Amino acid sequence: MLELVTISALNGVLYGMLLFLMASGLTLIFSMMGVLNFAHASFYILGAFFGFQISQMLGFWPAFFIAPVLVGGIGALVERYGLRHVHRHGPVAELLFTFGLAFVIEEIVQMIWGKGPADYRVPPSLDFSAFTAFSTNYPAYKMFELLAAIAIFVVLLVLLTRTRVGLIIQASLTHPHMVAMLGHNVPRVFMLVFGVGTGLAAVAGVIAGPALVTQSNMAAALGPILFVVVVVGGLGSLSGAFIASLLIGLVQTFAVSVNLSVADVLGRAGVAPPTGGVLFDVWNVTVAQIAPIIPYLLLVLILILRPTGLLGTREH
Amino acid sequence: MTSRIIAVLCATVAAVIAAMPAAAEDSVKLAYVDPLSGGGASIGEVGLKTFNYLADATNAQGGILGRKLEVVPYDNKLNAQESLVQVQKAIDSGIRFITQGNGSAFAAAIEDFVTKYNDRNPGKEVLYFNYAAVDPALTNDKCSYWHFRWDANSDIKMTALTNYMKTRQNIKKVYLINQDYSFGQSVRAGARKMLGEKRPDIEIVGDEVHPLLKVTDFSPYVAKIKASGADSVITGNWGQDFALLLKAAADAGLQVDWYTYYAGGTGGPTAVRQANLPDRVYAIAEGVSNEPYASAIEFEKGFRAKTGVTLFYPRAVNEVRMFVKAAQEANSLDPVKVAAKLDGMKVTVYNGGDGFMRADDHQFFQPMYIANLGPIGKDQPYDEENTGWGWKVTGKIDTQDTVLPTSCKMNRPS
């Protein structure tokens, strides 16, 4: 039992941090600019493929720094020459713009790197086992993921709440005209935020690429869960996203280890479970079987019970 | 102004029409209905390359009855409704032969559609060649005279796999992990039943299903496999569900043998190589690239040079060759006559050995191979996906040992 709890807790934290790594850029853009960036996952793909390509030429570590800068630059250009023009037509136009952009980027990636997976591997310098718990190995690369996620969280938090830059960014969202009157270039602030947000997506791509699958459709399963993280965490809250990531990681991981169904519970309570009928499947499906769906259930419950999210300050 | 726009439009349209390749008027068209965009595109693309190559090979040898074979792609977007729309489109443009493979749900929809279409349109029959959809129902309860399946269905594969596993005395505890949909369920049910019959001493220590293509982190599943003490895992997982499962297992240091259906699929060998599990990942298939059969090795060489991918569908070679043979024997391209020739046809299959299209249910039977992936030796000419690892055949199941009974009650045309 102790073994199962320890392993599940470790796996849950690691998965949660991976989620935060991917959701951090989305949260930044979503909470600081109010733009629901559907193309976020596409920048994540770009990051992974740039990381793959550069690590082929220069090795993993240069790729780790260069790829996010390049993708962030592309993101900034997209904001400057695309999103900024669409911005004045309101949030729906922005949403549609990023939605279309996602398809364009995916198609371009397919044209360049093909539809199959790229052989993007964990760098040799991190390809060893960090520690062993109950005879299960934990690779160093996962520890690297964990540290990177925590580092990004701390840096962003300090940047946004403790520095002048953060102050201006936050003010630009709520009082853009006042900030502009004070002599700050508000559009440039937005461009910067969007660039950094997409750059963070690329960081996630570079790191997650070798750990998961680097393929043009790699974001398909990931996109939706990131929105769950942001909504559950609460709009405008980085800490909320951090806590939500951990929560989802832990809930999902623990759920997988529970082989219990409604019928089992009824059986233990002394009630004979039904042996047939329309609901037979519902009684007998185990918690483990629906584990990956639980985050979405959480999303629905949060929206009903606490629409601002766990730590959110704004209404949707 | 308006007239100028119209003029420009007309000129554009004319230019586009002029630029379209003039389709050979008398070519024999085979509609290829599979995903060519979206999540399934990487798989559909490999199939299309395969069929295009086969058409070229056929034409180099004189085509079908002196006419060129042409593969016409239709994108079904991995959607049942869209599959039927595309099949209808193909039929409307005069195509009488359809091939599809990815997804048993779509295969069932097409099989049903083609059967009804042929009932209502005598004299305009259409044939459906299935090269990869493996739900047993397609040649059992739902069977149709107009449907021919070249891939071994999942029960046949499981029979072959368990026939091999029963000889492996080191297997004591088996864990099943599969995707939660019709195919995954049939793998799990088949494994339980057949292992129970053939090796009652083997303990099934876990039987897991997870949602299809929704899991990012397989480490909790791997933790369960580890906790169960399993020495072998059977999985029908494909695509990222296969790759991520294997990587998570390698990360955690799980040491088991993997008995799979699709380790050879696009991205599979890459994942096995990244997980660094030499000689521990087995796949069941009707052929892999390193069987010692000269003409297949030769074919593979040309295929790789032209397409840049591995021949993942040896069954497609059998399909096209048998289609050509049936048309020649019937001396006709009338689908009814071609079907009558395919019905019960016996051939030597692409990679050697006997094959036959059983008349009772139109399921093709052929030798099956068990192979595992590892660093290639001198008898293994090919590696997979440039990983340096290739297939090593460890077991062969002869055609007669793959034959299973069918519940098909076929409505034959009178």
Q: Across the interface, do B247 and A15 touch by the CB < 8 Å criterion?
A: no
Q: Taking 90 as the threshold, does the pLDDT of residue B15 lie above it?
A: no
ipTM: 0.85
Residue B344 to residue B361: CA distance in whole angstroms: 10
Higher pLDDT, B349 or A171: B349
Q: Across the interface, do A117 and B386 touch by the CB < 8 Å criterion?
A: no
Residue A314 — pLDDT band, cuts 50, 70, 90? low
Q: Across the interface, do B253 and A129 touch by the CB < 8 Å criterion?
A: yes
Q: Average pLDDT of B117-132?
A: 95
B76: its two tokens: 């079904």
Q: Across the interface, do A11 and B253 touch by the CB < 8 Å criterion?
A: no
* A139 interfacial to chain B (CB closer than 8 Å): yes
Q: Average pLDDT of A218-245?
A: 85
Q: Which chain B residue has the Cα nearest residue A212?
A: B244
Q: Look at A167-181, B103-117, B166-180 and tell me which has the smallest mean pLDDT.
A: A167-181
Using CB atoms, which residue from B216, B220, B270 is nearest to A221? B216
Q: Judging by beta carbons within 10 Å of its beta carbon (0-12, 13-18, 19+), is residue A170 exposed, middle or buried?
A: middle
Asked whether residue A310 is assigned to any structural domain, the reply reads no
Asked whether residue A312 is assigned to any structural domain, the reply reads no
What is the per-residue pLDDT across B245-297, written as a single tens digit (0 to 9) for each?
998 998 888 999 999 999 998 888 988 988 888 999 999 999 999 988 889 99
Asked whether residue A195 is assigned to any structural domain, the reply reads yes
Residue B13 — pLDDT band, cuts 50, 70, 90? low
What is the per-residue pLDDT across B160-186, written as a single tens digit (0 to 9) for each?
999 999 999 999 999 999 998 888 988
Asked whether residue A314 is assigned to any structural domain, the reply reads no
Q: Which chain B residue has the Cα nearest residue A120?
A: B274
Residues in chain A within 8 Å Cβ distance of B223: 4, 7-8, 11, 136, 257
Q: Taking 70 as the threshold, does the pLDDT of residue B145 lie above it?
A: yes
Q: Look at A14-18, A32-36, A57-61 and tell me which has the smallest mean pLDDT.
A: A32-36
Q: Taking 90 as the threshold, does the pLDDT of residue B20 lie above it?
A: no
Residue B152 to residue A253: CA distance in whole angstroms: 36
Asked whether residue A311 is assigned to any structural domain, the reply reads no
* A172 interfacial to chain B (CB closer than 8 Å): no
The CATH number given to whatever domain includes residue A68 is 1.10.3470
Sign of CA dihedral A56, A59, A60, A65: negative
Domains by residue range for chain B, with CATH: 21-152+314-366 (3.40.50.2300), 155-285+368-401 (3.40.50.2300)
What is the per-residue pLDDT across B364-410, written as a single tens digit (0 to 9) for each?
999 999 999 999 988 899 999 889 999 999 999 999 989 999 999 99
Residues in chain B within 8 Å Cβ distance of A256: 220-221, 224
Residue A30 — pLDDT band, cuts 50, 70, 90? confident
Residue A128 — pLDDT band, cuts 50, 70, 90? confident
Using CB atoms, which residue from B208, B220, B270 is nearest to A11? B220
Q: Taking 70 as the threshold, does the pLDDT of residue B22 lie above it?
A: no
Cβ pair B402, B158 in contact under 8 A: no
Q: Taking 60 as the threshold, does the pLDDT of residue B24 lie above it?
A: no
Q: Taking 80 as the threshold, does the pLDDT of residue B64 lie above it?
A: yes
Domain count, chain A: 1
Q: Average pLDDT of A150-169?
A: 91
Using CB atoms, which residue from B223, B240, B243 is nearest to A8? B223
SS (H, E, C) chain A: CHHHHHHHHHHHHHHHHHHHHHHHHHHHHHHHHCCCCCCHHHHHHHHHHHHHHHHHHCCHHHHHHHHHHHHHHHHHHHHHHHHHHHHCCCHHHHHHHHHHHHHHHHHHHHHHHCCCCCCCCCCHHHCCEEEEECCEEEEHHHHHHHHHHHHHHHHHHHHHHHCHHHHHHHHHHHCHHHHHHCCCCHHHHHHHHHHHHHHHHHHHHHHHHHHCCCCCCCCCCHHHHHHHHHHHHCCCCHHHHHHHHHHHHHHHHHHHCCCCEHHHHHHHCCCCCCCCCCCHHHHHCEHHHHHHHHHHHHHHHHHHHCCCCCCCCCCC
The whole-number pLDDT of residue A316 equals: 42
Higher pLDDT, A279 or A111: A111
Residues in chain B within 8 Å Cβ distance of A11: 217, 219-220, 223
Higher pLDDT, B260 or B25: B260
pLDDT above 70: percentage of residues in chain A: 95
* A218 interfacial to chain B (CB closer than 8 Å): yes
Q: Taking 60 as the threshold, does the pLDDT of residue B351 lie above it?
A: yes
Q: Across the interface, do A117 and B267 touch by the CB < 8 Å criterion?
A: yes
Domain that holds residue A196: 2-305
Residue A286 — pLDDT band, cuts 50, 70, 90? confident
Backbone φ, ψ for residue B357 (5° rounding): -90, 100
Q: Average pLDDT of A228-256?
A: 89
* A287 interfacial to chain B (CB closer than 8 Å): no
Q: Which chain A residue has the Cα nearest residue B38?
A: A217
Work out the minimum CA distance from A166 to partner chain B, whole angstroms: 33
The whole-number pLDDT of residue B2 equals: 65
Q: Which chain A residue has the Cα nearest residue B272?
A: A119
Q: Look at A97-101, A190-194, B20-24 and tell me which has the smallest mean pLDDT.
A: B20-24
On average, the pLDDT of chain A sits at: 87
Residue B25 — pLDDT band, cuts 50, 70, 90? low
Chain B interface disruption, residue of A138, A215, A250, A293, most B CBs within 10 A: A215
Say what the pTM is: 0.86
The whole-number pLDDT of residue A274 equals: 65
Residues in chain B within 8 Å Cβ distance of A136: 223, 226, 252-253
* A42 interfacial to chain B (CB closer than 8 Å): no
Q: Average pLDDT of B145-159?
A: 94
Asked whether residue A316 is assigned to any structural domain, the reply reads no
